[in-house]
């Protein structure tokens, strides 16, 4: 007791001596959904299913109408979220194959390293899809290094790639969990032997058929991208992933309830193969895609319940977001297109996953910090890429100039403070570094296609490539669905946005305070 008084007294003294408030250290949980569109949850307008837990989060927090991820595919968004740098600046930042080496180099500043330095216990639980291991790729039977632990996470419990890619095993810290050395795990791009059963040779045995790609090694009745053998004791069932993420997250929260913690909860819902737990199957009229949304909502509810039970809700900033917009048929015949009915996965927007139309990157985005964030709606422009600089600001840390090159401190906007502004512009991209960009500045949106092709403009159809002009301009205020290209009519605005976008790409950074020329 006396020690506590002394501590309080000393803290008070420090406060007066420096004239500064202490750094705030709320726990931080970032819940990132996978392939969840703007219109996929009921608090963003969905009527064909209900997401009561996500809705509650929104009701108790801030619901953003201009909340974005930075890319319309998984790997680049996750790369930018963690590093605070646009993925088009990096190497190998496109959708990662099963044997991809670690994409983020050890020593890179990340959301996790920033918070770790700020005294947080840090964990990532769920889908990784940012590569593991050195140049040669993951050593599946050995030490999976580097990975999350080399860029600021104290601990990790992962699905190494994405579940439509091999292998179906968990990675705990540097190892495949439950791997029997007598049954080594092999992962490769070619059929390991002529008799190896695949989605092509054993199609009639599958419990869910594929529609394109996804016809290599079969596990749990589902054929995947890539081949693998062995590691049988380590393999999981698709149906159990969500339960496992929740179990491991509750464990982590309980262990660290007395100190500040950062949890990156990287859900695999609602990515393909959509195979929710039996208790969620058939819960919606939308097929397994809808049922997976309900499963995701359940996960959010379990995390909230845990915060309530441990009385942490008033001391925890929760951010809910998605890694890219929606897709219906992403390679499996799970009925998503046939059962869509009135549901509009991208809400009022065009495009979805793989696209730089708004549907590709504008997603549900909610912040909740009970007692601190005034519940409501915010139209400020914020992006997952801004969490690095914003959380650095929250924990009163200065970012080294050569790090987090495109992350803006929008902390005030994330917390809904009076008159606080979000970004004034945002670059969107689709995948890797292939010359497809968009730039939003206020109500204006420029699209740029160096290869002049665009994929999947209407999410309700199967993916297709369309030829498009190199530049298009849209006015989001009166044309949110980006239907009418006004680039010729608004030639001056088009020219100015083209110049601004080229400048951001060329300068190699856009964060105020990041010095130029330091990256090689
Ligand atoms: C594509 C896959 C798609 C999905 C995507 C990555 C095919 C035909 N398509 O190449 O199914 O896995 O990659 O999705 O194989 S993401 O959300 O992880 O970026
Ligand atoms: Ca995704």
Is the pLDDT at 516 greater than 80? The verdict is no
Inform me whether the pLDDT recorded for 20 exceeds 90: no
Instruction: Tell which residue, 54, 52, 55, 90, has the closest CA to residue 71.
Output: 90
- Can you tell me whether residue 262 is helix, strand or coil? strand
The CATH code of domain 426-518 reads: 3.30.1120.10
**Residue 452: which pLDDT band, with cuts at 50, 70 and 90?**
confident
- CATH level 3 topology of 25-195+230-414: Alkaline Phosphatase, subunit A (3.40.720)
Cα separation of the two ends of the chain: 54
Atom 18 in ligand 1: residue holding the nearest Cα: 74
- 87 ligand 1 Cβ < 6 A: no
Query: What's the pLDDT band for 10 if we cut at 50, 70, 90?
Result: low
164 in ligand 1 pocket by Cβ < 6 Å? Answer: yes
pLDDT by residue (tens digit) across 280-303?
999 999 999 999 999 999 999 999
Of the pLDDT bands very low, low, confident and very high (cuts 50, 70, 90), residue 464 is confident
Distance CA 222, CA 229 (A): 15
Which ligand 1 atom is at minimum distance from the Cα of 353?
A: 17
DSSP class of residue 446 equals E
How does residue 433 score in pLDDT terms, banded at 50, 70 and 90?
confident
* Contact 330 CB / ligand 1 (< 6 Å): yes
Ligand 2 centroid to residue 73 C-alpha, Å: 5
Per-residue pLDDT reduced to its tens digit, 372-403: 999 999 999 999 999 999 999 999 999 999 99
Q: How far, in whole angstroms, is CA 3 from its chain's centroid?
A: 43
Ligand 1 atom 13 nearest Cα: 95
pLDDT class of 455 with cuts at 50, 70, 90 = confident
Domain 25-195+230-414 and domain 426-518, same fold? Reply is: no
Q: Contact, 71 vs 430, CB < 8 A?
A: yes
Probe target for ligand 1 pocket from 87, 94, 159, 225, with the most ligand atoms within 8 Å of CB: 225
What are the sequence ranges of the domains in the chain?
25-195+230-414, 426-518
Length of the chain in residues, anyone? 520
Position 434 pLDDT exceeds 90: no
Percent residues over pLDDT 90 in the chain:
89
Per DSSP bridges, beta strands 227-229 and 222-223 are unpaired
Q: How far apart are CA 326 and CA 433, in angstroms?
A: 21
Residues 45-85 pLDDT 10s: 999 999 999 999 999 999 999 999 999 999 999 999 999 99
Quick check: pTM over 0.85?
A: yes
Residue 177 burial by CB count (10 A; 0-12/13-18/19+): exposed, middle or buried? middle
Residue-wise burial string across 249-265, b where 16 or more C-beta atoms lie within 10 A, e elsewhere: bbebbeebbeebbbbbb
Of residues 26, 517, 497, 498, the one with CA closest to residue 260: 26
Ligand nearest to the CA of 37: 2
- 8 Å CB contact between 266 and 312: no
Grade residue 17 by pLDDT with cuts at 50, 70 and 90: very low
Q: Is 235 in the pocket of ligand 1 (CB under 6 A)?
A: no
d(CA 455, CA 462): 10
Specify which residues 155 forms β-bridges with: 123
Atom of ligand 1 nearest to the CA of 129: 18
Q: Kindly tell me if the per-residue pLDDT of 453 is higher than 60.
A: yes
DSSP string computed for 463-488? --EEE--SEEEEETTT-TT--S--TT
**Distance (Å, rounded) from C-alpha 140 to C-alpha 187?**
8
Q: Residue 193: its pLDDT value, please?
A: 97
Using pLDDT thresholds of 50, 70 and 90, give the confidence band for residue 473: very high
Give the per-residue pLDDT at 6: 54
Give the long-range contacts of residues 116-120, CB within 8 A, separation 24 or more.
116/152, 116/153, 116/154, 116/262, 117/397, 118/23, 118/25, 118/260, 118/395, 118/396, 118/397, 119/25, 119/259, 119/260, 119/395, 120/25, 120/27, 120/28, 120/259, 120/260, 120/261, 120/262, 120/395
Q: What tokens were used for 312?
A: 């942490």
At residue 1, does pLDDT exceed 50?
no
What is the three-class DSSP state of 303? Answer: helix
Q: What is the mean pLDDT of residues 233-253?
A: 98
């Amino acid at each position: 007791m006396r020690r506590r008084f002394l501590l309080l007294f000393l803290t008070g003294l420090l406060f007066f001596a420096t004239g500064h408030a202490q750094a705030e250290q709320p726990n931080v949980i970032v819940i990132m959904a996978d392939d969840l569109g703007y219109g996929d949850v009921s608090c963003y307008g969905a009527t064909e299913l209900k997401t009561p837990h996500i809705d509650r989060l929104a009701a108790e927090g801030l619901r953003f109408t201009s909340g974005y991820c930075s890319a319309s595919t998984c790997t680049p968004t996750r790369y930018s979220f963690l590093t605070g740098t646009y993925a088009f600046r990096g190497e190998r930042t496109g959708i990662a194959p099963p044997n991809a080496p670690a994409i983020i180099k050890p020593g890179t500043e990340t959301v996790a390293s920033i918070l770790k330095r700020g005294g947080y216990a840090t964990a990532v639980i769920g889908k990784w899809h940012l590569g593991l291991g050195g140049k040669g790729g993951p050593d599946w039977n050995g030490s999976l290094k580097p990975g999350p632990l080399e860029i600021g996470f104290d601990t990790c419990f992962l699905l190494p790639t994405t579940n439509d890619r091999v292998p179906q095993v968990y990675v705990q810290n540097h190892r495949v969990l439950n791997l029997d050395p007598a049954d080594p795990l092999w992962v490769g791009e070619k059929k390991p032997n002529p008799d190896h059963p695949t989605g092509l040779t054993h199609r009639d045995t599958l419990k869910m058929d594929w529609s394109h790609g996804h016809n290599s090694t079969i596990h749990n009745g589902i054929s995947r991208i890539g081949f693998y053998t062995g590691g049988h004791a380590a393999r999981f069932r698709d149906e159990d992933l969500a339960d496992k993420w929740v179990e491991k997250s509750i464990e982590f929260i309980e262990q660290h309830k007395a100190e500040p913690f950062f949890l990156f909860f990287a859900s695999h819902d609602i990515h393909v193969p959509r195979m929710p737990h039996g208790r969620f199957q058939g819960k919606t009229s939308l097929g397994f895609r809808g049922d997976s949304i309900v499963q995701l909502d359940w996960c959010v509810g379990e995390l909230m319940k845990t915060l309530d039970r441990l009385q942490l809700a008033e001391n925890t900033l929760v951010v809910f977001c998605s890694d890219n917009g929606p897709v219906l048929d992403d390679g499996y015949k799970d009925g998503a297109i046939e059962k869509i009915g009135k549901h509009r996965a991208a809400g009022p927007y065009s495009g979805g996953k793989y696209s730089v139309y708004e549907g590709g990157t504008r997603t549900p985005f909610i912040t909740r910090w009970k007692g601190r964030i005034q519940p409501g709606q915010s139209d400020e422009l914020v992006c997952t890429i801004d969490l690095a600089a914003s959380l650095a600001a929250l924990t009163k840390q200065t970012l080294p100039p050569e790090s987090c090159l495109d992350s803006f401190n929008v902390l005030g906007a994330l917390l809904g403070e009076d008159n606080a502004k979000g970004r004034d512009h945002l670059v969107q991209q689709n995948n890797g570094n292939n010359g497809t960009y968009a730039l939003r500045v206020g109500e204006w949106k420029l699209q740029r296609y160096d290869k002049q092709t665009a994929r999947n403009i209407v999410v309700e159809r199967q993916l297709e490539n369309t030829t498009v002009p190199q530049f298009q301009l849209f006015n989001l205020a009166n044309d949110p669905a980006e239907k009418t290209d006004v680039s010729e009519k608004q030639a001056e605005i088009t020219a100015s946005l083209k110049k601004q976008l080229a400048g951001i790409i060329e300068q190699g950074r856009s964060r105020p305070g990041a010095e130029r020329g330091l990256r090689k």
